[in-house]
Structure 1
Amino acid sequence: MNESSLTKGIRQPAAPRAGTVIIAAFLIWMTVLPALEVANASEVRPQMLFNRGNYLMEQQEYSRALEHFREIEEHGYESGPLFYNMGISYIYLDSLGKAAWYFQKSTNYRVTSDPAGEGLSFIEQTNRSRGFHIPQLTWYAFIDWMLFEMNHFSWIVMGLLLLNAGVLLLLAGWIFYPDRRLVFGGGAAGSAGLILLLLSITIYIVAQGYRQAVVMETRTPLQPEPTALTLAGSEPEAYDGDLAYEAYTVTLDVRKSRQHDDWVHVRLRNGARGWVPDTAVCEL
């Protein structure tokens, strides 16, 4: 029995008709098209909302503009111009705490870092004119720089490089020929690198327990304990202790704050410490 006789009884598949191909292509296109439209809309809609918000700001309708900006934020979109415009809008609505909070977030973007800094300076001057002033002590400014602005990883890498360079110099001084200068230089570089490495790691570990927050209320008394509100008649004006003023940045102790519900432990720019309700501040 030859091959032709074996394949004679097998039915060959029919070639697809043109109409079937067209229908299949149409169904595939109708399936893919909505997905493409959704993807395109997800990119276009935030920009449309941002443009509408800008237009409403030009019309001095800041509350409506913020509705559009907040909708963008709720969808997970973040940008320097978005936060900057929200800060400007809150200034016109006399909500300096919210304005400072968004300006602080806007400073993290290169394109809006400078104008956001000017916005924070304006808020500082406004608080000064209102008599709400917290002096910035140099020592605590340096501590805050180490906690929040210092690039810990860069300093750790620098310490490692110095330590390795010191070890190499020591080996070179001992192996090739006895050179006291190489040994002394290697010891100095290695010691400096080790100290820098240990300090940088320590600062990094300590910094994990602190956050920055912005005060949202006009005057918030600092309480010595998180269990009692020691206000005379619940009026901040009658309180003779330290006050946290609206729009100022405070240092929040995360470890202490975890020990109590509804309260957070903060430090002001002048070094004053105390407890405030967690609703009085907004963490950055």
Structure 2
Amino acid sequence: MKKLFAIILFALPFFLNAQENNTALWEQANNHYTAEEYQQAISAYEQILTNGQESAKLYFNLGNAYYKAGDVNNAILNYERAQKLAPQDEDIAFNLQIANQFVVTKIEELPKPFFLRWKTSVINKYPTDTWAAISVGAFILFLLLLGLFLFSKNSTAKRFAFWFGILAVVFSGFTFSWAAHQKAVINKHDQAIVFCPRVTVKSSPAETGTDLFLIYEGVKVDITDRLDSWREIRLADGNKGWLPDSCIVTI
């Protein structure tokens, strides 16, 4: 215990210093952005990422700086990373939509069943931490209702506690699963943005593979398989194929 306490005391100054550095970098980056010094803003925002700190707001601001600097690919990449952390944010969605207008390859997304669209919209209504807090709150309510059911002598109160307790524990389970789902999406890196100006998607992971179709930079793809320096990708319209790993950057 003493060793642990000593380690904490030793590491605390470094942690606080890193936080101060990131705060200073954040202010510098925002000032550069306001002064239309976009490359300097990009460097400062990326330094914060290098220091190990990330957030939806940071990726959003970085995407804005790249967009203003004329680098649409990196703008889309950082908007997508911001949206993974804050899928409910309308500003991120709007700016991403604007940036995607510059993508040459237009893809018609396959329609999803209504219940899947509804489920996604519900899960994305709040970020992971909010769903987790709601889940904990609902479980605490269940425990209180359980206590009321066990110790109350009033039959009406017992019935109330029983039925609402069931609702509370079921709701807690659902919201916990939604938080876990969002956390899994954040931790998965199975999507990417194409960065090669134009690339031919192959039927197999080799240059000798049959040419399937051509895509241009800025397109979002799902990574479905890996083999050496090749990645199997799937587009939103269902088309699949292989392209070099050097042509994509994971979200």
Which of 85, 88, 107 is the equivalent residue of 1:134? 107
Counterpart of 2:140 in structure 1 is none
SS in 2 for 1:51: helix
Deviations 1:172-215 (A, max 9, x none): xxxxxxxxxxxxxxxxxxxxxxxxxxxxxxxxxxx999822121
User: What is the alpha-carbon distance in structure 1 between the residues aligned to residue 88 and residue 65 of structure 2?
Assistant: 15
Counterpart of 2:37 in structure 1 is 61
Counterpart of 1:161 in structure 2 is none
Counterpart of 2:201 in structure 1 is 222
User: What is the alpha-carbon distance in structure 1 between the residues aligned to residue 36 and residue 248 of structure 2?
Assistant: 28
- Name the TM-score, length of structure 2 as normaliser: 0.61
Whether contact under 8 Å (1:107, 1:114) holds in the other structure is no
Counterpart of 1:243 in structure 2 is 214
Whether contact under 8 Å (1:213, 1:249) holds in the other structure is yes
SS in 2 for 1:108: helix
Question: For residues 35 and 223 of structure 1, do their structure 2 counterparts lie closer, same or farther at Cα, with a shift above 3 Å needed?
Answer: closer
Structure 1 residue 252: Cα displacement: 0.7
One-letter code aligned to 2:70: D
Whether contact under 8 Å (1:84, 1:112) holds in the other structure is no
Counterpart of 1:212 in structure 2 is 191
Whether contact under 8 Å (1:99, 1:247) holds in the other structure is no
Number of positions where the alignment pairs a residue of Structure 1 with one of Structure 2? 183
Structure 1 residue 48: Cα displacement: 0.6
Larger Rg: 1 or 2? 1
User: What is the alpha-carbon distance in structure 2 between the residues aligned to residue 78 and residue 93 of structure 1?
Assistant: 21
Counterparts in 2 of 1:183-194, with a 5 A limit? Answer: none
SS in 2 for 1:222: strand
One-letter code aligned to 1:46: N
- Name the TM-score, length of structure 1 as normaliser: 0.55
User: What is the alpha-carbon distance in structure 1 between the residues aligned to residue 206 and residue 48 of structure 2?
Assistant: 38
Counterpart of 1:115 in structure 2 is 91
Question: For residues 145 and 249 of structure 1, do their structure 2 counterparts lie closer, same or farther at Cα, with a shift above 3 Å needed?
Answer: farther
User: What is the alpha-carbon distance in structure 2 between the residues aligned to residue 217 and residue 95 of structure 1?
Assistant: 13
Counterpart of 1:236 in structure 2 is none
Whether contact under 8 Å (2:223, 2:233) holds in the other structure is yes
Counterpart of 1:202 in structure 2 is none
Which of 53, 68, 80 is the equivalent residue of 1:92? 68
Structure 1 residue 221: Cα displacement: 1.4
Question: For residues 35 and 225 of structure 1, do their structure 2 counterparts lie closer, same or farther at Cα, with a shift above 3 Å needed?
Answer: closer
Which of 262, 266, 273 is the equivalent residue of 2:233? 266
Structure 1 residue 132: Cα displacement: 2.9
User: What is the alpha-carbon distance in structure 1 between the residues aligned to residue 37 and residue 213 of structure 2?
Assistant: 37
User: What is the alpha-carbon distance in structure 2 between the residues aligned to residue 83 and residue 229 of structure 1?
Assistant: 38
Question: For residues 277 and 54 of structure 1, do their structure 2 counterparts lie closer, same or farther at Cα, with a shift above 3 Å needed?
Answer: same
Deviations 1:242-278 (A, max 9, x none): 223322211111xx31xx2111000112221111111
One-letter code aligned to 2:61: N
User: What is the alpha-carbon distance in structure 1 between the residues aligned to residue 10 and residue 203 of structure 2?
Assistant: 59
Whether contact under 8 Å (2:203, 2:209) holds in the other structure is no
Whether contact under 8 Å (1:210, 1:251) holds in the other structure is no
Whether contact under 8 Å (1:219, 1:245) holds in the other structure is yes
Deviations 1:94-149 (A, max 9, x none): 3222211111111134498211111110022222xxx431222215x98x979x99
RMSD of aligned C-alpha atoms?
A: 3.7
Question: For residues 272 and 210 of structure 1, do their structure 2 counterparts lie closer, same or farther at Cα, with a shift above 3 Å needed?
Answer: farther
Q: Does 1:279 align with 2:232?
A: no
One-letter code aligned to 1:262: S
Counterpart of 1:170 in structure 2 is none
Question: For residues 42 and 272 of structure 1, do their structure 2 counterparts lie closer, same or farther at Cα, with a shift above 3 Å needed?
Answer: same
